Amino acid sequence: MKETKQKMDGAWMTPEDIVDEMILFTPEEWFKGNILEPTAGTGNIVNAILNKKVAIGLTPQEAIDTTFANEFDSERYKELVHRIEMWCEYAGAKANYNNITNQDARELKLDVDYNVITNLPFGSWTNSSLPRQIINNLNKPAVYLTKWSTGCNQKYCKSVIKFENIEFPGIVYDCLLWQYDPNIVFDEPQVWLYWPIPRFPKHKLKKKYITGEE
């Protein structure tokens, strides 16, 4: 895959140790129900979701039938399908092709209830509102990994972990892992505390952010 295309699409696949953190951060009961990976890339998170579902007692077929994976890019979509087929072959399940879609996540609609786990397209300079558009479209309880600057600077956030300097191939990001809950409505002024303290110059922080330095 050409690096420029990767940059344009924000298409860095999540490394295994971060995927593990994401699975640990997710409430365990979510894995009993439907989970959507809306920007699944080649399926690193999907694979971990399937394994976790089996680890908590679902059969491989139940895991497959309750896991929904979507990817916009056709090359990555093909690889995603192939990896799910490989998982099925190994686990003894039948692939459920209705659950593996090739759409723009900003328009995706599922006719089942579901929660979301994903590393959103971090975005290049030109499409940095993409994560927010996807979040708005899905509007479901979710665990999101995002780049700091496109992260949870909005309402409805239950908890946040900030990772400093995660290395994706060839690039270093400050990342946020955060749990989104569309049902929470805060009536307090919205003040979000990030930790460890962001190393951004103060003038780059929007008003809503506090740095923990008060």
Ligand X SMILES: C[S@@+](CC[C@H](N)C(=O)[O-])C[C@H]1O[C@@H](n2cnc3c(N)ncnc32)[C@H](O)[C@@H]1O
Residue 119 Cβ vs ligand X, minimum distance, rounded to whole Å: 3
Pairwise CA distance, residues 40 & 69, whole Å = 6
How does DSSP classify residue 82? H
Rounded Cα distance, 190 and 188, in Å: 6
104 binds ligand X per the rule CB under 6 A: yes
- Of the listed pieces 54-62, 84-92, 104-112, 169-177, which binds ligand X according to CB under 6 A? 104-112
Please report, as residue ranges, which positions from 28 to 67 form the binding site for ligand X (by CB under 6 A).
Answer: 39-41, 44-45
Q: Please provide residue 89's backbone torsions phi and psi, each rounded to the nearest 5 degrees.
A: -60, -45
Out of 36, 68, 88, 121, the residue judged to bind ligand X by CB under 6 A: 121
Q: Which listed residue (26, 67, 119, 179) binds ligand X by CB under 6 A?
A: 119
Residues 98 and 16: their CA atoms lie apart, in Å, by: 27
Q: Which of 147, 145, 118, 150 is nearest to 133 (CA)?
A: 150
Name which of 10 and 60 has its Cβ closer to ligand X. 10
Site string for ligand X, 61-100 (x = CB under 6 A): ---------xxxx--x------------------------
User: Which residues in the 146-175 window bind ligand X by CB under 6 A?
Assistant: none
Q: Which is nearer to ligand X, 59 or 136 (CB)?
A: 136
Contact 63, 37 (CB under 8 A): no
Taking CB under 6 A as the rule, does residue 10 contact ligand X?
yes
Closest by alpha carbon to 117, among 6, 7, 14, 12? 14
Give the residue from 91, 105, 92, 93 showing the smallest Cα distance to 37.
Answer: 105
Between 34 and 61, CB nearer to ligand X: 34
Judged by the rule CB under 6 A, the positions of this chain that interact with ligand X are 9-14, 39-41, 44-45, 70-73, 76, 104-106, 118-119, 121-122, 130
